[in-house]
Every structure is written in C-alpha cells, then in structure tokens.
C-alpha cells in the first residue's frame, strides 16, 4: 500500500505518525509546499525576534528516518490524476498513490468588507510569508489596525507589541461589523 500525504504541518505530520503506527510496511510519501516546518501558534514570537525560524520547528530532526517516509519538500500538489492514480506536482513530476491523505490546511478568510480586497497594506496572518511581509510593512508604520479579535488577531497584536509597537493605542471595538 502506498500512501501520499499532502501537507506537512500538524495534521499531515500526525497523519504520517499514525499511518506508520498502523501500517509498518506501507510506503509513505509526504508532499509539502513548504520546505521548513513551523508552528503557526508562535508566529508572533518570530515577529518580535523572540524565536528564530529554526525555533518555530516542531518536528523531530530525524522525522524522515524515524517514520520511514519519503519527504518531497518544497513542491506543491497541483492536481490529482484519478485515472492514473497519481498526485501531480508543481515540479512537473508525479507520485503514484493507493490512498491520499489531504492535510493541506486552510487559508485566510477576507470578510466581505467593501474595499478590503483592493486596498494596499492588507495582510492575512497565517503563514510565515505573511508574518515576514507584515514585519516589513510594520517596521515603519505608526498606525496599524488588527481586524479580528480572535486567537490569531490577538496573536498578531502581541507580535506588534513584541516588535516594539508599544506606543500604539489599542482600541477594542466590537459589534460594528
């Protein structure tokens, strides 16, 4: 049996661990768009220089050997050829499969707010690339609005504080959407 796991974050990595525990003899291929593994939960520490990129990693250094998995890093799955049972990859190659575990996460939701999509200087806060773009844009900014006061919004606000944006006036507004 040959499994292809798409996505190497919390779900994909744990998927590999479970597959290996349940199927000692299976072939497992892990396909991840990202080359590096990082925890989104501590991205705000990265923003403030509290942790380096390496310190965001939450996977065993010997993951590939330990779980006997072939890891294709830095290539995205671009499609499934269901007739040939093949996962198509962004490097032009393909990986044949018996079963696919899709663990590709989600993406930032932009609420239906007029002008939001067209505006400049609007960022989601999900990926390390988002954090890096935000850090660059925020470096010289004095007025920053965090839209969304849930877990990620508060994490992002904490990131700005870690960056030294502590003279900002944090104004909590709710119920005006």
Nearest to 14 by CA among 100, 106, 103, 126: 103
Q: In angstroms, rounded to a whole number, what is the distance separating the alpha carbons of residues 116 and 112?
A: 8
Binding pattern for the stretch 26-65 against ligand FAD, x by CB under 6 A and - elsewhere:
-----xxxx-----xx-x----------------------
Q: In angstroms, rounded to a whole number, what is the distance separating the alpha carbons of residues 60 and 9?
A: 12
Q: How far is the CB of 42 from ligand FAD (least distance, A)?
A: 8
C-alpha dihedral sign at 19, 21, 26, 28: positive
φ and ψ at residue 93, rounded to 5 degrees:
-85, -175
Q: Is 158 in the site for ligand FAD (CB under 6 A)?
A: no
Query: Which of 2/124 has CB closer to ligand FAD?
Result: 124
Check: CB of residue 49 under 8 Å from CB of residue 162.
yes
Per CB under 6 A, which of residues 75..134 are in contact with ligand FAD? 76-77, 103-106, 125-126
Q: Which of 3, 4, 7, 67 binds ligand FAD (CB under 6 A)?
A: 7
Q: How far is the CB of 166 from ligand FAD (least distance, A)?
A: 20
Interface region with ligand FAD, contact rule CB under 6 A, candidates 25-33, 114-122, 133-141, 163-171: 25-33
Residue 129 CA: distances (Å) to CA of 33, 51, 157: 12, 16, 17
Find the angle CA(43)-CA(10)-CA(96) to the nearest 5 degrees.
Answer: 125
Q: Which of 21, 82, 119, 151 binds ligand FAD (CB under 6 A)?
A: 151
Query: Which of 26/89 has CB closer to ligand FAD?
Result: 89
Residues at the contact surface with ligand FAD, assessed by CB under 6 A: 6-12, 31-34, 40-41, 43, 76-77, 103-106, 125-126, 151-152, 155
């Amino acid at each position: 049996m040959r499994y292809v796991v798409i996505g190497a974050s919390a779900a994909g990595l744990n998927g590999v661990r479970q597959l290996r525990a349940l199927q000692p003899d299976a072939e497992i291929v892990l396909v991840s768009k990202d080359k590096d593994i990082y925890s989104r939960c501590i991205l705000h520490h990265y923003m403030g220089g509290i942790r380096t990129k390496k310190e965001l990693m939450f996977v065993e250094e010997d993951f590939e050997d330990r779980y006997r998995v072939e890891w294709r890093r830095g290539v995205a799955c671009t499609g499934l050829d269901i007739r040939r049972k093949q996962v198509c990859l962004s490097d032009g190659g393909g990986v044949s499969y018996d079963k696919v575990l899709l663990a590709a996460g989600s993406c930032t939701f932009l609420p239906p707010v007029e002008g939001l999509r067209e505006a400049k200087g609007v960022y989601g806060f999900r990926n390390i690339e988002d954090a890096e773009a935000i850090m660059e844009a925020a470096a010289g900014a004095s007025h920053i609005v965090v839209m969304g006061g849930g877990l990620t919004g508060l994490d992002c606000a904490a990131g700005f504080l870690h960056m030294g944006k502590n003279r900002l006036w944090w104004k909590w507004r709710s119920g005006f959407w």
